[in-house]
Structure 1
Amino acid sequence: MHAAVVRSFDRPPRFEEFAVPVPGEGRLPVEMIAAGLHPRVRSGADGTHYTSDGRLPLIPGVDGVGRLPDGQVVYFVAGDGDPGTMAERSVVDPRRAVPLPDGADPVTIAAAMNPAMSSWVALRRRIAFRPGQGVLVLGATGNAGRMAVQIARHLGAGRVVAAGRDPERLALLDGLGATDVVSLAGDPDQADARLGEAAADVDVVLDYTWGGPTERALPAVLTRRADRSAPLDWIEIGSMAGREITLPSAVLRAAALRLMGSGQGSVTARGIVAELPGLMAELTRGTLTADARPVPLADVEEAWTAPVEPGRRLVLTVSA
């Protein structure tokens, strides 16, 4: 078969021949249709993701849409240790697969499920989110952050504060459910003041940045809360700006901050899969929108390094 193959962590994958994977116990062969090029896929391909074991060669891809031997088309999340999904053939654990609803577009599903899943699972599995609560999306200009704005509103958020640096992408968020848009560009102290004023009394933070932006955002928000004893659930989902922060002890003592993460390990695979049908249904209905750009798998090397328009996600396609 042909696949996108990573042979060095400092080079993009190339379209090459590769051995067809042999399904192990509890796995089925799957003919791939589409697989999204997510940030999670990129970090796995360059060896920086926290689950990376450093072994090469590898096929990137953590999820996708494929056809089972009986002809059923499913969305699935690759199991730990299974081959990547950016190939003509892969393997699937049926327990991690969900049939596509009638009318679902495989490219849209492949593009949107991974970025949408992060906030959908965080709000539905990590906390007891209640309609009417306020949500801050920190890093709202990325694809996952953009989906988080839509999902928070869909799940009943009374306010959604969208914060980010890219003005072009920030301008798109008003129409997707953001009630407040905060630019983090420019003078840091002024940006902190804008963020603190807009997000002081939110109930939940969906944090896609970590690093320096989170170090500044934590005190900016917490010190301006009208009631510091009111719980604030700060959910770390991504680390676009850095993998570590310095957290002063006073931040934890001076407010009712509940700091947690959401991702592989903090939610069980069974719990994540249980959320997929509902999320897929909303994407199929058009309640949640995603801008997908299909690219043939054979063009993976060029697509990997090509600039992408704001709000758009690349999807590598294999067959119809």
Structure 2
Amino acid sequence: MKAALVRSFDAPPRCEDVPAPVPAGDDEILVDVLAAGLHPRVRSAADGSHYTSGGELPMVPGIDAVGRTRDGELLYFVAPDSALGTMAERAVVDRRRAVPLPAGTDAVAVAAAMNPAMSSWVALRRRIALAEGAAVLVLGATGSAGRLAVQIARRLGAARVVGAGRDARRLALLKELGADEAVSLDGAAGEVADRLARAAADVDVVLDYLWGRPSEHAMRALLTARADRARTLAWIEIGSVAGPDLALPSALLRAADLRLLGSGQGSVTTAGIVAELPSLAEEIASGALAVRARPVPLARVEEAWNAPVAPGERVVITP
């Protein structure tokens, strides 16, 4: 069969011939892959930088996909952490990690949205109990996952949602997605801190896709401007596109009720993540979440790998 194949962590995958996978366990079946999302998580696995990477090469990238069974059933599934991913004509599916989809579901839209949407959906349903009427700040709201996080926070009961990011074009689109306010993170640190303090000092939850220096400054700005510092602020670290580390002054932890959490593989069990898939798949399949997908044939995976994408767009490989 044809598959995207990574032979070096320093180069994008190429479409090559590989042996077809074979189901091994009682819960495994073979499906024809219809669509597999090119997510940041997929890129980091393919360049060896993800924290779960075992350094095994060659590898077929892809962590999830939509596929069709021999009987015509449509499934969204999550692949195990292995060298045999989902960017191929066929893939083995463990039914315990799969969700049936209604006939007629847009496979490309589901493949584009499930992974980025899962980050905020799982965080708000598994890492905390989001109170009805809470206020949420999304740091990094101009990326695909951040745009979906704005919508999901609203769908899950947030009364106020603030989105923050650098890209002015993408920030301008956030209010159409349900954000009450969009805050630019571009400019001098003091100016950015003032903007964040005015817009989001009293939020209940921060969904953080940035980390690094931007989060370091944002944390200080919010906590020092907070009207009631004893009111809990749940800061959920989801991504680290701005840097893997930050400096956290001990005084901030003593002077405010800051609760730092992470959300991802390990902090949430596989069973917990899988349990959230049906309800999230229903949201996406129903069209409740705005999704921008760009399908690209598997044969063009090498050129699509590092090609620029439009604001909020997600590349989906279609075998």
1:162 Cα deviation from its structure 2 partner = 0.2
Partner of 1:220: 221
Aligned equivalents of 2:171, 2:133: Cα separation in 1: 23
Partner of 2:23: 23
Moved more, 135-144 or 88-97: 88-97
Q: What's the CA shift string for 1:189-221, capped at 9, x where partnerless?
A: 101110111110000000000111111111011
In structure 1, give the amino acid aligned to 2:76: Y
In structure 2, give the amino acid aligned to 1:137: V
1:140 Cα deviation from its structure 2 partner = 0.3
Aligned equivalents of 1:79, 1:73: Cα separation in 2: 19
1:82 Cα deviation from its structure 2 partner = 6.2
Partner of 1:9: 9
Aligned equivalents of 2:242, 2:188: Cα separation in 1: 17
In structure 2, give the amino acid aligned to 1:4: A
Partner of 1:60: 61
1:242 and 2:214 matched: no
1:32 and 2:33 matched: yes
CA contact (8 A) 1:78 1:96 kept: yes
1:134 and 2:135 matched: yes
1:71 Cα deviation from its structure 2 partner = 2.3
Identity of aligned residues (%): 66
In structure 1, give the amino acid aligned to 2:148: M
Mark the runs of 5 or more structure 2 residues left unpaired by the alignment.
none
Partner of 1:167: 168
1:149 and 2:155 matched: no
Q: What's the CA shift string for 1:135-170, capped at 9, x where partnerless?
A: 000000000000000001111111101000000110
Aligned equivalents of 1:268, 1:170: Cα separation in 2: 33
1:36 Cα deviation from its structure 2 partner = 0.4
1:100 Cα deviation from its structure 2 partner = 0.8
1:131 Cα deviation from its structure 2 partner = 1.4
Mark the runs of 5 or more structure 1 residues left unpaired by the alignment.
none
- Pairing of 1:257-296 with structure 2 (within 5 A): 257-296=258-297
In structure 2, give the amino acid aligned to 1:11: A
CA contact (8 A) 2:61 2:83 kept: no
CA contact (8 A) 1:291 1:313 kept: yes
Instruction: Report the TM-score when normalising by structure 2.
Output: 0.98
Q: Secondary structure, in 3 states, of the residue corresponding to 2:77?
A: strand
Instruction: Report the TM-score when normalising by structure 1.
Output: 0.97
Q: Secondary structure, in 3 states, of the residue corresponding to 1:223?
A: helix
Aligned equivalents of 2:38, 2:221: Cα separation in 1: 34
Matched length = 318
Partner of 2:81: 80
CA contact (8 A) 1:237 1:263 kept: yes
CA contact (8 A) 2:58 2:83 kept: no
In structure 2, give the amino acid aligned to 1:9: F
Aligned equivalents of 2:271, 2:171: Cα separation in 1: 34
Q: What's the CA shift string for 1:265-308, capped at 9, x where partnerless?
A: 11111111111111111112221110111110110001012110
Aligned equivalents of 2:164, 2:59: Cα separation in 1: 35
In structure 2, give the amino acid aligned to 1:277: P
CA contact (8 A) 1:83 1:91 kept: no
In structure 2, give the amino acid aligned to 1:91: V
